[in-house]
Structure 1
Amino acid sequence: MATVNPPRGMRDFLPAEKARRERVLAVIRARYRAHGFDEIETPVMEEYSRLHAGIGGDNEKLAFNVLARGLDADAIRAAADDPAALTDLGLRYDLTVPLARFYASHRGELPGVFRAIQIAPVWRAERPQKGRYRQFVQCDIDIIGDATARAESELIAATLDTLDALGLEGGVVRVNDRRVLDWMLSSFGFAEDERPRVLITIDKLDKIGADGVVRELADRGAATEAVEAFGAFLRRPSSADVPFGEQQIRGALPDGVPDEIVAHLTGIGDAVAAARPGESGIPVVFDPFLVRGMGYYTGTIFELAHPSVGYSLGGGGRYDGMIGRFLGQDVPAVGFSIGFERIVDLLEGEADAVDRAIVLVHDRDVTVAELVAVKADLVAGGARVRLEQRPKNLKPLLERAVADGYTGFAFVAAGSAPADIEVKPLA
């Protein structure tokens, strides 16, 4: 007999939990729209060749692929070692690759600078564990067509505003630039072909520390002089805390960082500060060792941090080269994604305020017309209403109503009119 459980790494949501998720999504959508972004929708599947074009990083290895229709047993056996010959479609593993395809397809119908919202499920063949699912929702905002720091600034301001609206004030965005990383590794003497492997190790700095990074780089066979120079830089005395700006950025890097990159990052901080005039400091921190694993990033990268947790709540960056894969010419693009599943878990117990929701408990002899009249009156007044016939034991029914998010109940007897209904709170 088939199991009744959902597939591993995927979940069912009971009514109260589904309602809570939708309330959080409504806040996110409202704040994104308030900042001038417009929502689009793309198919859950894309062509196999597009999902495996080398622009999705490690996520390409986690794609769920769809077997091509019409293959017979001989064709399947002949192509057993070639996934591209067996499949023609795949479930999307993120929303960025579909957005690039969408923009290339509809460019003539879109404004010169396009601000997109995408809120939808994605699928990855992860090994399921706590907080890591095979199906999960991403909440993305992207700006296409703007190469200036204004785009990053708008994304960061909208994301921090959304976090505030969800009751998670105090968020901070860690910022870096892939160009900074490449320049820094070059200045230490790492060869261009070994830098991707070096970045993988640097990304572990928070977990294994400076000594662990140096040791792993040496074990990987990186150039000895480069490893020693980088190790000395990592172990240098830390400077005093300095607010985000040119002084902090230059102080966190070796001498000689290109002025244009510093100016770009400083401009982002100035704009975010202007968008949040009531705050004593800029909620942006420069992190020279922020890497982010997606290979398609070409410039600014960022992650969303909150003091209540030790993991990021979102991230993104600039990917100016991706859309060119479809158009034949590069188009500037940058995006920021909120980690919806992490935020929903963090808001558990805090985001459950609901509108007026009432259970009408009626006797068996109440006519349908009377029930519908009473219900229609309450619905017209803005309430959510459920009809329930009175059972012998009322307690389980009311407990179930509370679990489903209802806030009040009322009894309806035969002959009742809407004016006769007395709503009592559900404790």
Structure 2
Amino acid sequence: MAAKVVPARGMRDILPVDKARREHALHVIREVYRSFGFDEVETPALEELSRLESGQGGENEKMLFKVMRRGLAAEQALLPGDAADLGLRFDLTVPLTRYVASNAAALRMPFKALQIGPVWRAERPQKGRYRQFVQCDIDIVGEPGSLAEVELVTATHTALTRLGLTGTTLRLNDRGVLTGLLTGCGFAEDAHGSVLITVDKADKVGLDGVLAELRSKGFDEGSVSALEKSLTELLPLRDVRTPGVLESALPEAVPIKVVVRLREIADALALSAPGLDVQFDVTLVRGMGYYTGPIFEMSMPGSSSSIAGGGRYDNMVGRFSGRDLPAAGFSIGFERIVDELSSGDEETLAIALVHPAGANPGELLRKQQELIAAGARVALVKQAKRMQPLFDALVAEGYSRVVRARVAEDGTLEFGDPSDLTTS
């Protein structure tokens, strides 16, 4: 028996009807983002390994696909750490910050970038999670104020609404809230990263699970108990717009300007994205190490997973250029939304032009061009002995109409009028 031929583990083939749906979604997303003034850029799939392992990518740095160095002699002895010098990008943010540093002289600030492309992570494949997937990112570099966050969220909310994904919720937090909270509870600064990794699991394991893991890690019981008290009080709080609500519950170690910034964002979004439900969530962490301020995730009704996420990363560009630039970004989890969408060919009439074997190619192509000029998408389809299975397959591929061709007595082709493919 021949071996089953399948893509590499964690990768997949995209069939035509799915590809059409994906391209339709990408077209809508791209057009909405461009209408907000974002300029599309492109970065290489490969980056220097040292850049991808700079400590800013959180857990994703552990899932790098590394690329072997070229030109090595077969007999040359190398330690594993010296065998690779490049890696496939695990997100689009790290490459963008390098792009800005590389091309700073040619970019007008604030720079509003749109980037769409595949990324790779060597994680364990499972339903809805792949090793190669598409991200749709928008970033604003050079804008220090909350205008950047508001525009990022508004543009993304508009794109998702245009795709028919409504009723979305935005969870909002700030790294300043998290840092102040942990400091106020007595956690040492060098322990914050480990604590936040655990807190980030709250939506999956609950508060009890978070506390149990912190204790299993050996953190001071007094600090864990103080965090338990704070989180118990803060978890029910979702209102970020009413003055005094968060201030009264947060430790004094949280700067007041951080809460004011969150309120500014929420107040502005009430005007620019009135259909968006904005909620404060003290357990929202986002695992990337590069976030420095507001962070946010968008989700759909009834879903436990976010469909978009982002935040402010003011220190990242400076790591590569030596010149600090404020920056914020938002990324759509494209693979998580595309299955929720209908076919991308709904706005374009798709016609199957069915013809007999040996039909005159010139006549067929002339008729095809005539139908295309009228705004249709037209596929030439050779008639089969059993037409119903063929028609069923065409309907599944998104075709809704059929035009039949037959050979007339004089040898020329005659074409019928378009008819409903499902009843033909």
Q: Please indicate the TM-score interval, normalised by the length of the shorter structure.
A: over 0.9
How much does 1:210 deviate? 2.4
Assess if the C-alpha contact under 8 Å between 2:352 and 2:403 holds in 1.
yes
AA in 2 matched with 1:335:
G
Alpha-carbon separation, structure 1, partners of 2:102 and 2:339: 36
Aligned position for 1:165: 162
Matched, 1:426 2:421: yes
Matched, 1:196 2:193: yes
AA in 1 matched with 2:210:
V
Aligned position for 2:366: 373
Q: Write out per-residue CA displacement over residues 302-343 of structure 1, whole angstroms, 9 at most, x where no aligned residue.
A: 111111312111111111111111110211111000100010
Alpha-carbon separation, structure 1, partners of 2:415 and 2:4: 49
Aligned position for 1:81: 80
Structure 1 residues 123 and 44: alpha-carbon distance in aligned structure 2, compared to 1, 3 A threshold: same
Aligned position for 1:343: 337
How much does 1:106 deviate? 1.1
Greater mean deviation of Cα atoms: 221-230 or 170-179: 221-230
Match of 2:254 among 247, 257, 268: 257
Structure 1 residues 234 and 57: alpha-carbon distance in aligned structure 2, compared to 1, 3 A threshold: closer
> What is the SS of the residue equivalent to 2:283?
coil
Q: Write out per-residue CA displacement over residues 113-154 of structure 1, whole angstroms, 9 at most, x where no aligned residue.
A: 011111100011111111110000001110000010000000
Assess if the C-alpha contact under 8 Å between 1:64 and 1:125 holds in 2.
yes
Assess if the C-alpha contact under 8 Å between 1:373 and 1:418 holds in 2.
no
Match of 1:219 among 207, 216, 219: 216
AA in 2 matched with 1:156:
V
Aligned position for 1:405: 398
Which TM-score applies when normalising by structure 2? 0.93
Aligned position for 1:44: 45
Assess if the C-alpha contact under 8 Å between 2:348 and 2:376 holds in 1.
yes
Alpha-carbon separation, structure 2, partners of 1:322 and 1:417: 68
How much does 1:240 deviate? 7.3
Structure 1 residues 237 and 90: alpha-carbon distance in aligned structure 2, compared to 1, 3 A threshold: closer
Assess if the C-alpha contact under 8 Å between 2:233 and 2:249 holds in 1.
no
Q: Write out per-residue CA displacement over residues 22-52 of structure 1, whole angstroms, 9 at most, x where no aligned residue.
A: 1111111111111111111111111122111
Greater mean deviation of Cα atoms: 163-172 or 143-152: 163-172
Aligned position for 2:5: 4
Alpha-carbon separation, structure 1, partners of 2:241 and 2:382: 62
Aligned position for 2:72: 71
Assess if the C-alpha contact under 8 Å between 1:354 and 1:405 holds in 2.
no
Structure 1 residues 351 and 304: alpha-carbon distance in aligned structure 2, compared to 1, 3 A threshold: farther
Alpha-carbon separation, structure 1, partners of 2:27 and 2:413: 31
Match of 1:312 among 306, 311, 315: 306
AA in 1 matched with 2:325:
V
How much does 1:80 deviate? 3.1
Which TM-score applies when normalising by structure 1? 0.92
Q: How many percent identity over aligned positions?
A: 50
Assess if the C-alpha contact under 8 Å between 2:240 and 2:263 holds in 1.
no
Q: Write out per-residue CA displacement over residues 134-192 of structure 1, whole angstroms, 9 at most, x where no aligned residue.
A: 00000111000001000000001011111111111111111111111001111111111
> What is the SS of the residue equivalent to 1:310?
coil
AA in 2 matched with 1:66:
V
Alpha-carbon separation, structure 2, partners of 1:163 and 1:109: 31
Assess if the C-alpha contact under 8 Å between 1:32 and 1:117 holds in 2.
yes
Greater mean deviation of Cα atoms: 149-158 or 107-116: 107-116
Aligned position for 2:35: 34
AA in 1 matched with 2:80:
D
AA in 2 matched with 1:411:
R
> What is the SS of the residue equivalent to 2:144?
coil
Greater mean deviation of Cα atoms: 411-420 or 133-142: 411-420
Match of 1:106 among 86, 95, 103: 103
Structure 1 residues 352 and 132: alpha-carbon distance in aligned structure 2, compared to 1, 3 A threshold: same
Greater mean deviation of Cα atoms: 329-338 or 203-212: 203-212
AA in 2 matched with 1:424:
S
Residue segments in structure 1 that go unaligned for 5+ positions in a row: none
